[in-house]
Amino acid sequence: MSPILITFYFLAAITLATAFLTIYSKNPIHSAIYLVLCFFSIAGHYLLFNAQFLAIVHIIVYSGAIVVLFLFTIMLMNLNKEDEVHKPRITRLGAIVVFILTSIVLVTIFINSKTIMGEYDTSGEDFQSIKKLGNILLNEYMVPFEFASILLLVAMIGVVLLSKKEKTEKK
């Protein structure tokens, strides 16, 4: 077993475990922290693929922005309590069944699929350096890149719209 494979299994175990704990923790704060750990482990996978830039962006966006946003919200709402009533047992049971079912179904179809034998291609070229990515992003993918800005603009307007008070509103 190569060290890389060991690393993979290690990271995968962490990823899955933290993901599961995110969901399983009763305290939302704990969930958020497990989520951060999960994201870090995923970043570890990225690094394993030698996609450093992506790993860093990932950490910045997810851990730095998204999880922080979650934490802000949790604190804003003062949810730092384990007061969540569990769903009815039948629902939980159903969720577990569905989880198992989904996993089995998806895993089954992929097991059924043609396994890739032999060597994977190695182009030998650089395909994931910052330079390369930048080139692609601003040439080939310029339109979606710009369009992503529209997406963010829409999200921004949306959030403003949702939180802005009307002049006429009485509160």
Q: Which of residues 46-105 bind other proteins (CB under 8 A)?
A: 46, 48-51, 54, 57-58, 61-62, 65-66, 69-70, 73-74, 76-77, 79, 84-87, 91-92, 94-96, 98-99, 101-103, 105
The residue written with tokens 């690094």 in the block is 47
Q: In angstroms, what is the minimal distance from the CB of 70 to other proteins?
A: 6
* HSE-up (13 A, CA, CB side) for residue 75: 6
CA distance 55 to 89: 39
119 is written with which tokens? 């060597």
Task: Name residues contacting other proteins, limited to 126-155 (CB under 8 A).
Answer: 127-128, 132-133, 136-137, 140-144, 147-148, 150-155
Q: In angstroms, what is the minimal distance from the CB of 156 to other proteins?
A: 8
149 is written with which tokens? 């800005």
Task: Name residues contacting other proteins, limited to 152-171 (CB under 8 A).
Answer: 152-164, 166-169
**32: exposed, middle or buried (Cβ count in 10 Å: 0-12, 13-18, 19+):** buried
